[in-house]
Amino acid sequence: PVAPRKPTAVPKPTKTAQSPSARSTPKSSVTTVGTTLENQVVSLANAQRAKAGCRPLKHDAELRRAAYGHSRDMVAKDYFDHTSPSGKDAGDRIKAAGFSPVSSWGENIAAGQRTAAAVMKDWMSSSGHKRNILDCSYTHIGVGYASSYWTQVFAAH
C-alpha cells in the first residue's frame, strides 16, 4: 500500500481575458464519464463550489483521459509530481487528450487516500488545492484514480 502523501497543487497559467458571453456553461455537474469513485470526487468538488457560489464543473471525457493517464503514469513509473519523467505537464496532457481551446487550467494530485471523501478532505485542507477547486473561472474537470493515485484536472475553453 502507498502511504498517504500530502497532495500538491500546480499554479495555473495566466488566463486569457474572455468575455462572459464567450464562456460555455456546463449543463450538468456529473455525467457518466469515469468511474463511480471519480464521479464521487466531481460531486464533492461541485458541492464545495456551490457553497462558494461557483457553477458546477462538467466532468469532461478528454480531461478525465488526461487525469487518469497521469495517475496511471505515476503508478507505473513510481513518481509523484505534476511533471512526468519525460517532462510533460498538465497543459501538455490536456492538449494531447484533445481538450481545445484551453484558456486556463490547474491540476491537483494526491496519493494514498482510499476514498473520494478522504482525498477531497485533504485537498480542501490545502490552500493551493482549495484555490483550484473553488476557482469559479473553471468550467470543466477531469478526475483520474489509479492504485491510490489521484489527479484532478481543471480547465476552461
Question: How does residue 6 score in pLDDT terms, banded at 50, 70 and 90?
Answer: very low
For cell 463511480, the residue is 36
The reported pLDDT for the residue numbered 9 is: 53
Query: What's the rounded mean pLDDT across residues 22-50?
Result: 75
Q: Which residues contact 139 (CB under 8 A, 6 or more apart)?
A: 23, 24, 25, 26, 55, 57, 58, 155, 156, 157
Q: Which tens digit of pLDDT belongs to each residue from 127-142? A: 999 999 999 999 999 9
The reported pLDDT for the residue numbered 33 is: 82
Indicate the CATH number of 29-156 among 3.30.930.10, 3.90.850.10, 3.40.33.10, 3.40.640.10. 3.40.33.10
**Cα–Cα separations (whole angstroms), residue 20 to 67, 89, 90, 100, 108:** 27, 28, 25, 18, 26
Query: What's the rounded mean pLDDT across residues 109-131?
Result: 97
The reported pLDDT for the residue numbered 32 is: 64
Reference 49, options 34, 66, 29, 35; nearest CA is 29
